[in-house]
Structure formats: C-alpha cells, structure tokens
Amino acid sequence: MPSTSTIARLVKYGLVKAGLLVITVSIGIYLAVVVINYGGYIDQIFRANIDDALGGYFMSTDTSMLSPDEQTQLYEKMQWEMEESLGLHQPFLLRSFRWFYQGITFNWGKSNAIETQKGDSTDIREIVLEALPNTLLLAGVANAFVFLASVAVALSLSKHYGGFWDRFFLTLSPLSSVPNWIYAVLLIVIFASQLHLLPYGGMYDNFPPATKLGYVPIVAKHMLLPFLAIILSTFFQGVYTWRTYFLIHQGEDYVEMAVAMGLPRKTIDRQYILRPVLPFLVTNFTFLLVGFWQGIIVLEKVFNWPGIGKLFITAVPLYERGVVLALIVIFAFLLAFSIFFLDIVYAFLDPRIRITGEGQTVLPVRRRRGFSKLRDDLKNLGKRPAFSVRKPERPQSRQSTRKEAKSPKPKVRKRKSHALHDFLREIARYPLAVVGVMIIFLMIGVSIYTVFAIPYPEAVHLWQANRPQSRGLPENARPTWINFFRSKDLPPNIVLSSQAGTAIKKVISAEGGVKKITLLYSFKYPYGDFPKDLAIDFNSQFTAKRPFVTLTWKTPDGRKFDLGSFSLKPLQTFVLSQDAPKELLDPEKNQQKFLMGGQGGHPAVEVLFANPNFEQPTPVAGRYLLQIDGLVFEDESDLDAEMILYGGVYGLAGTDHMRRDLMVALLWGAPIALAFGFLGAIATTLTSMTLAAAGVWFGGRVDQVIQRMADINMIIPVLPVAIMVFYLYSQSIWVVLTVVVILNVFSSAIKNYRAAFLEMKDAPYIEAAKAYGSSNWRIIFRYMIPRILPLVIPQMIILIPTYVCFEATLAFLNVSEPNMPTWGKVIYDAVQKGAFQGNLYWVLEPVGLIVLTGLSFAMFGFALDSIFNPRLRKI
C-alpha cells in the first residue's frame, strides 16, 4: 500500500500536470482562434453576408414611403446592429479572447450553413453532439479490436519467435505505412463495387428500421468497411511493435542479473520488467491514438460517415468559423485527456521519473546504464562487419593531428568502401528491403525521366480541365492493357482526317463554281465491344454560301444508315450521341432489339455497329465506311473533316471524365510525391534533431520553450490545421508542406531525440570537448548529432512514406493546387465522379502507386532499423 505522503505527492503531481495541460490547451486553442479568423478575412465574409441579407430585405420590402435619406439611414442602422450582434465593432484582440472563452465553454453559437441531420437545428453544440458519438463508436470499436487482437497475436508470436507466423507478420508489418483511407478505397472496390456485399458508405440504410434495436445490424453493416480499413492500417504495425518489445524485455541482461541476484519474483516483475518497457508501449500507443485522430477525418470523408471528421471537412470550405472552432476544441480536449492520462500512467510506470513536491517530473542526473549500453552498442557497431559508425571526434594533441594528416588517404577510402560493402551485404540479408530499394530507385528513375520528358508547365497544360486538344481523346477510356484480361476486346481510339491524308478526298467540279466533295473514312473494326461515340469535326471554308453535307454510314454486311444532311457553319462538330437523327433510334425502323442494351457506348453507336441478327448486342466485325458527300457553292470554298471514333481503351493509363490522359498525372505524381516525401522527412528530422540537441545543450529557458511548444503542438491536430491553412491562407501545396513540417518538428520525435541527447550530455568526450574550448554549436553539430544519426536515419526513411501519403491525403481532400497532376488528385476526381461504378482502373492505378511507394520505403526503413538499432539486432 502506498503511504499517505506518496498519495498526497501523486495528487499534487496530477493537479500540477492538469494545470500545465490546461495552460497548454488554452494556448493551443487561442492560436487556433487566431488562425481560423485569418487576420480579419472571415470578418469580411460576415460583412458581405450582412450586405447580401440587407440587400435582399430591401428588395422584398416596400420602403417607398421612406425618403432616400431615410432609407440610407435605416440601411446603415440595420447594418450596424447586425455587425454589433456579431461583435465586428470590437478590436480583434478583444474578440479573439471572447471567441476563445466561448470556445472552451462550448458556447459556439449557431451555424450559417450546416444543420443537424434532421434539419431541425443549426445550434453548433447539437451538430457536434450528433456527430461525436458516431466518431467515438468507430474509434472505440476499432481501437478495442486492434488492441485486443494485436496484443494477443504479439504474445503468441513472442512465444513462437522465428516461426512461420512470426515471419509472416513481420513481412506484413510494412502494410501499416499506408494510410487507412487508401485501404478504404480498396475495400470499397472489392466489397461494395465488385461483390456488392457491403454498402459504399454512410451509416444507415435509406429506410429506418421498425425498432431502435433494428439499428444495430444496420450500423454494424455500414461500420464494417471503415473498421476493416482501420484494422489493416494499424494491426500489423501494432503486432510487430509489441511483439518486438515483448521479446526485448524478455531477454534483457539486467533481468537475468536480477534473477541471479536472487531478488523476489514480484520485485523483478515490477522493477525490472514492466517499468522499463511499459513507458515505451504507452508512448507508442499514445502516438497511435494521435495518428488515429488524423486518419479518422479522411476515413469519414471516404465512407461518408457522419462523424466529426466529415463535419470538419464540410465546415472549412464554408468558412464556418464556429463549427471549425468547436471541432478544434473537441480534438484538443480529447488529445489533452490522452496526454494527461498517460502522464499519470507514466508516474506509475517509468522508473526514471521522480515525483517532486512541486509535481515536476525529473530525471536522475547520474549517468545510467542505458547510456553506457547505447554507447557500447554504437562502439560495437563499428567492429561488426555490418557497417561502421564514425567515432565522434575527440580533442587531439598536435602530434596526433600531424600523424593523421600524414596518414595515407587510400586507406581511409578502403575502409569506407569496406563499410559500404558490409552495409550492402547486411541489407542483402533482407529480401524485402532489396525489393524496396529497387522500387525506390525505379521511382526515382521515373521521376527524373518525367521531369525532363514532360516539363512541369507542359504537364500543367496537359492536365488543364476542358482543354480543346483533349477533344480527340475518349472520355473514361480504360488502359489498353486491360484487353489482355477481356474476352471481348475494347476498341482503341480511331482518328481519320482528310487533311492529314488518312481519309480519301475526291473533288468533282461542276458549273457555276459548284464542287462536289466526297470524303471517305474507311477502317477495320475487329473488336468485340462497341466504341463510346462518334464525332466529326468539320473544317469548311466559304464566304457567303454555306456548304451542304450528307452523312452516310455503311456496315461490313452492306447496310446503310443515313446520319443526316445539313448546312455547315465554319467550324462545326457532329456528335452522334447528341445529333443522331430520330429515325436511327427508332427500333422498328432499324430492327434493333437492344437499343438500350448499352455496353458503354451510346445506343446510336450500337445501332451503327450491332449485328441485328443476334439477340445480344454484338458488333459486326469487318470494314466500315463513313461517307460524307458535300456540296460547296463558291470557287474558293473547301471542305475537310476529321472523324473520331471514341474507343474504350486509350494509352497505358486510360483517360478520365475530362478526356485527360491519366498517364500525365501518374508520371508527374511520382516526382511530386517523392519531393514531398524527401523534403518533408529530411526537413522534419534534421530540424527536430537540431532543436532537441540545442534544447538539451543550452538547457534552461531554451529547453523549456522547446518542450512547451512540443506540448502545445501535441494537442493541435496537424491535418485540420493543414486544411485550414490551404483554404484560408495559401493555395500553394508547398506552403502547406512548410506548415506541416513546422508542426511535425515539434511532434513526438523531438521528445525522443531529447531523451537520447540527455543520455549523452554528460559523456566524457563531451566534457573533453567543452574543456578543449569547442563552441556550443560545434559540440551540437560535431559531437552530439552525429552520435545518434545511425538511429535516426531509419526513422527518417520510415517517415518518407508518411509524407508521400500525406500529400495524397491532402489532394484527396481537394487540398491541392488545381492544375497540379498528383496521385491524390486523380483519386479525388475518380471517387467524386463515380469511378467505383465501372471505371475501377481510374482509382486503382494511383492507389496502387501510393501503396507501392509507401511499402517500398517502409520495407527499406524497417530493414535499416533492424540493422542500425542495436536493440533490434539482438532479435
């Protein structure tokens, strides 16, 4: 039983922690208030809304009895009153504190554009209270399952270490590097689009059940796919992490030592086993939760799940300041509670934490075994054949410096080449890592090729919506390679032009300047499926009298169809799906039994190609002919035309709804994703590491400021802030990246690096460097940072797919530059335009590339972690 003084200290510790957290949350929310208001931009929107409302009022109300001056006075009075009611006449500082107070007291007011699902209230409290349990339900069930399943599996694997299932789960662990919404898209494709087993999204069926209990199976059915997506993105990583740490803590030397010393079993359990390993696991779990809150926003968007994440995505583009503030407060409170709870758990678990009278957690000053172990491990790394770690420079005598200067350089080079050779040999032991490296190099090669082959301005031009040049491309055409998997081949695009010489042009002159021009478009059609449409682009020259044309279609079996006769404008287009004569679609006249049978093409197109003798729509194979008989009535007049038969397949990637070649976005997606990934990961890691080192070295206020910023940052969700920055401040994705990097710099990593630097701060070689007169920054950059680089590099590699996926996530939420072709943008367009109904290539191609990129970096990073991390090398 703990003594009374211990309980009192613990209570005091908890109160102080809670107080600090309240301050942290308050600062975080106030910063959010400032960001949300966008320096007065939201005020301008409110003023414009007031003007609109007053304009509408004066338009609909008879004010003719008032003089113009009186009308103006009434307008200004009403305007002032409405502005006053919104607090727009107060100084911003005062207003911001008022909003802050309203925010933390849950007094969020009413929404202008969002209402409850029943549509009976615009009160933001009610809107949030309606959405919050939906998110908690999803989170609660998924977290519980992930935890229970992964701990159970991890326990079993740690028991059967090295067995088939152990290796199986180890191999699958990189799957968790892909965000849950990517799995969500894949699951929708499989279970909703193809198998029709589960709904695409939402939370309820169209019709309510008879009883309230009837909601249980309905909600469960709708929850299954989001739940599976969460499981896939977290389960394997959880199993890997926990199994690894179960193994580590089972085999620690100091545990064996404690057993050898004859300590009681309970003491060994508590002091030597649980305490050292639990803080890590608890921390790991916290970060899992923090990451989960980020992921839930996108997941709810994909599944149209009516939770707080979807509410946030809806509210930001509508400038719903109250709703956004409410959700930031909810996010902050949930995260703050998690941190507070874990702080309390830490107090019980972490043997390094002492609870002082002031409730501060302090670390013992003496050097602990942990550092000596780390140092020994790092030293030993250099002796191992795996790779070498450069020893930190130590102060040297002049004599030794001279000796070193004279030492032959080739020896150093030889040592380096040996180290590289050893490192490569070590990597070769991990087949998945080798595959990962090959994919990474392939991606880098493709990116370099793309940047030179399709310069960025050209790519942006090609990716513009409604580009006239895109007219020649089919709409939603599948990639050409899809024909390998089909029994009936889809036709490619067929383009024939009289100007380009791919069509026959005959000109017969008659009297009075009249010319008869015949254009013949003949082509073979051996395909098993129908084309999508037929278009004819006319290019006629005339001064006054418009040329007259007659269009005739001839099938291989000798049938003829009259497609119409009309006078031409200078640039006219005939599109069969829009301009087909009514007779063509008359079933009795054309003896067609399957006019609406539709296999992708327009019914009119099927009439031109289908065999009338077959029950099912089947194109007649053979040579088709389109004949254009034109009459021009002036000497200088001429007539040309281009026939476009829109096919079902196009290029290696297909096209989208705006006839854009998807290959442009798939190719350019690679350099953009890699640039985002590399820049984000390197900038975040290096800055975090430098700040942590500086904080530890300088200590005092510098360290305090850095740590408090990290605390505040932990309760600010990164994704919502990134979305707000994009909508309110800058439409540049690189500005958003910068903000995300800044936020991530002060994330959990900085605390981990700080812990590592604290271990080495009092090391003898640092003391020696100080005594030798090295400057502070020299000690930081030359002696401290290089020391932990071997441990940081794998983490940096593992961080790259996080940023790659983050870019795709932002683009999927339409947080991207409009004309920037990226993988996420393709998925966004595909999901918005119904790719799940028949155009799966559109969504699967970019999803496949994101998964491939994410997995390749994760596989390489995990292998590096196993090689570089001395604790993991043992198992």
Partner 1 sequence: MRSLPPGILIGIGFLLVLFGAVAPFLMVMHIVPSTFTLNFLSYAASLSGLILGLIGSLMYIRKRRDR
With CB under 8 A as the contact rule, the residue among 56, 133, 764, 818 that binds partner 1 is: 133
Candidate ranges 263-271, 442-450, 679-687, 757-765; the one touching partner 1 (CB under 8 A): 263-271
With CB under 8 A as the contact rule, the residue among 31, 34, 82, 274 that binds partner 1 is: 274
Binding of partner 1 at residue 151 (CB under 8 A)?
A: yes
Provide the minimum distance between the beta carbon of 25 and partner 1 in the complex, in angstroms, as a whole number: 13
Binding of partner 1 at residue 172 (CB under 8 A)?
A: no
Complex with partner 1: residue 192 or 282, whichever CB lies closer: 282
Provide the minimum distance between the beta carbon of 27 and partner 1 in the complex, in angstroms, as a whole number: 21
Q: Are 538 and 503 in contact (CB under 8 A)?
A: no
Binding of partner 1 at residue 129 (CB under 8 A)?
A: yes
Binding of partner 1 at residue 289 (CB under 8 A)?
A: yes
Three-class DSSP category at 655 = strand
With CB under 8 A as the contact rule, the residue among 29, 50, 277, 750 that binds partner 1 is: 277
| Sites for partner 1 among residues 711-750 (CB under 8 A) | none
Provide the minimum distance between the beta carbon of 12 and partner 1 in the complex, in angstroms, as a whole number: 19
**516 strand-pairing partners:** 508, 631
b or e along 722-737 (b: 16 or more beta carbons within 10 Å of the residue's beta carbon)?
A: bbbbbbbeeeebeebb
Complex with partner 1: residue 265 or 582, whichever CB lies closer: 265
Question: Could you tell me how many residues make up the chain?
Answer: 875
Complex with partner 1: residue 249 or 301, whichever CB lies closer: 249
Candidate ranges 94-102, 213-221, 355-363, 425-433; the one touching partner 1 (CB under 8 A): 213-221
Provide the minimum distance between the beta carbon of 222 and partner 1 in the complex, in angstroms, as a whole number: 11
Binding of partner 1 at residue 278 (CB under 8 A)?
A: yes
Provide the minimum distance between the beta carbon of 314 and partner 1 in the complex, in angstroms, as a whole number: 19
Q: How far apart are CA 759 and CA 762, in angstroms?
A: 7
Q: What is the 3-state secondary structure (H, E, C) of 268-311?
A: HHHHHHHHHHHHHHHHHHHHHHHHHHHHHHHHHHHHCCCCHHHH
With CB under 8 A as the contact rule, the residue among 75, 191, 200, 215 that binds partner 1 is: 215
Q: Are 592 and 600 in contact (CB under 8 A)?
A: no
Candidate ranges 131-139, 355-363, 425-433, 696-704; the one touching partner 1 (CB under 8 A): 131-139
| Sites for partner 1 among residues 78-107 (CB under 8 A) | 106
Angle at 226 between CA 818 and CA 217, to 5 degrees: 140
Site size toward partner 1 (CB under 8 A) is: 48
Complex with partner 1: residue 117 or 543, whichever CB lies closer: 117
28: Cα separation from own chain's centroid: 24
Angle at 846 between CA 842 and CA 847, to 5 degrees: 105
Phi, psi of 374 (to 5 degrees): -60, -45
Stretch 235-254: interaction string toward partner 1, x if CB under 8 A? -----------x--xx----
DSSP helix, strand, coil percent of the chain (3-state; round to 5): 65, 10, 25
Please tell me what DSSP assigns to residue 517: E
Phi, psi of 520 (to 5 degrees): -120, 125
Q: Are 231 and 859 in contact (CB under 8 A)?
A: no
Provide the minimum distance between the beta carbon of 235 and partner 1 in the complex, in angstroms, as a whole number: 14
With CB under 8 A as the contact rule, the residue among 282, 419, 621, 686 that binds partner 1 is: 282
Candidate ranges 332-340, 358-366, 528-536, 550-558; the one touching partner 1 (CB under 8 A): 332-340
Q: How far apart are CA 873 and CA 387, in angstroms?
A: 13
Q: How far apart are CA 86 and CA 71, in angstroms?
A: 23
Q: How far apart are CA 529 and CA 113, in angstroms?
A: 47
Q: Are 541 and 624 in contact (CB under 8 A)?
A: no
Cβ neighbours around 717 below 10 Å, total: 25
Complex with partner 1: residue 126 or 579, whichever CB lies closer: 126
Q: Are 645 and 624 in contact (CB under 8 A)?
A: no
Complex with partner 1: residue 833 or 871, whichever CB lies closer: 871
Alpha helices in 407-467 (DSSP H): 409-428, 431-453, 456-462
Complex with partner 1: residue 282 or 585, whichever CB lies closer: 282
Complex with partner 1: residue 281 or 504, whichever CB lies closer: 281
**Alpha-carbon torsion, ordered 13, 16, 18, 23, to 10 deg:** -160
With CB under 8 A as the contact rule, the residue among 219, 439, 460, 735 that binds partner 1 is: 219
Three-class DSSP category at 138 = helix
With CB under 8 A as the contact rule, the residue among 130, 642, 656, 829 that binds partner 1 is: 130
Three-class DSSP category at 414 = helix
CA-to-CA dists, residue 409 to 183, 404, 412, 415, 768, angstroms: 52, 10, 5, 10, 27
Complex with partner 1: residue 77 or 270, whichever CB lies closer: 270
Binding of partner 1 at residue 144 (CB under 8 A)?
A: yes
Residue 113's closest CA among 281, 302, 320?
320
Strand pairing report for 354-355 and 548-554: unpaired
Candidate ranges 47-55, 215-223, 465-473, 728-736; the one touching partner 1 (CB under 8 A): 215-223
Complex with partner 1: residue 146 or 378, whichever CB lies closer: 146
| Sites for partner 1 among residues 346-385 (CB under 8 A) | 348-349
With CB under 8 A as the contact rule, the residue among 31, 114, 172, 281 that binds partner 1 is: 281
With CB under 8 A as the contact rule, the residue among 86, 132, 735, 875 that binds partner 1 is: 132
Binding of partner 1 at residue 18 (CB under 8 A)?
A: no
Q: How far apart are CA 348 and CA 350, in angstroms?
A: 6
Binding of partner 1 at residue 269 (CB under 8 A)?
A: yes
Complex with partner 1: residue 23 or 148, whichever CB lies closer: 148
**354 strand-pairing partners:** 362
| Sites for partner 1 among residues 675-714 (CB under 8 A) | none
Provide the minimum distance between the beta carbon of 260 and partner 1 in the complex, in angstroms, as a whole number: 15
Binding of partner 1 at residue 147 (CB under 8 A)?
A: yes
Three-class DSSP category at 839 = coil
Q: What is the 3-state secondary structure (H, E, C) of 739-781?
A: HHHHHHHCCHHHHHHHHHHHHHCCCHHHHHHHHHCCCHHHHHH
Three-class DSSP category at 437 = helix
Binding of partner 1 at residue 75 (CB under 8 A)?
A: no
DSSP 797-813: HHHHHHHHHHHHHHHHT
With CB under 8 A as the contact rule, the residue among 333, 523, 566, 729 that binds partner 1 is: 333
Complex with partner 1: residue 245 or 841, whichever CB lies closer: 245
Candidate ranges 209-217, 605-613, 732-740, 786-794; the one touching partner 1 (CB under 8 A): 209-217
Q: How far apart are CA 201 and CA 300, in angstroms?
A: 9
142: Cα separation from own chain's centroid: 20
Provide the minimum distance between the beta carbon of 208 and partner 1 in the complex, in angstroms, as a whole number: 11
Candidate ranges 264-272, 533-541, 616-624, 798-806; the one touching partner 1 (CB under 8 A): 264-272
Candidate ranges 135-143, 431-439, 489-497, 713-721; the one touching partner 1 (CB under 8 A): 135-143
Candidate ranges 18-26, 342-350, 592-600, 761-769; the one touching partner 1 (CB under 8 A): 342-350
Q: Are 853 and 804 in contact (CB under 8 A)?
A: yes
CA-to-CA dists, residue 284 to 42, 229, 239, 278, 743, angstroms: 39, 20, 12, 10, 19
Strand pairing report for 548-554 and 515-525: unpaired
Provide the minimum distance between the beta carbon of 144 and partner 1 in the complex, in angstroms, as a whole number: 4
Binding of partner 1 at residue 573 (CB under 8 A)?
A: no
Q: Which residues bind partner 1 (CB under 8 A)?
A: 106, 129-130, 132-134, 136-137, 139-141, 143-144, 147-148, 151, 155, 158-159, 203, 212-213, 215-216, 219, 246, 249-250, 265, 269-270, 273-274, 277-278, 281-282, 285, 289, 333-334, 337-338, 341-342, 345, 348-349
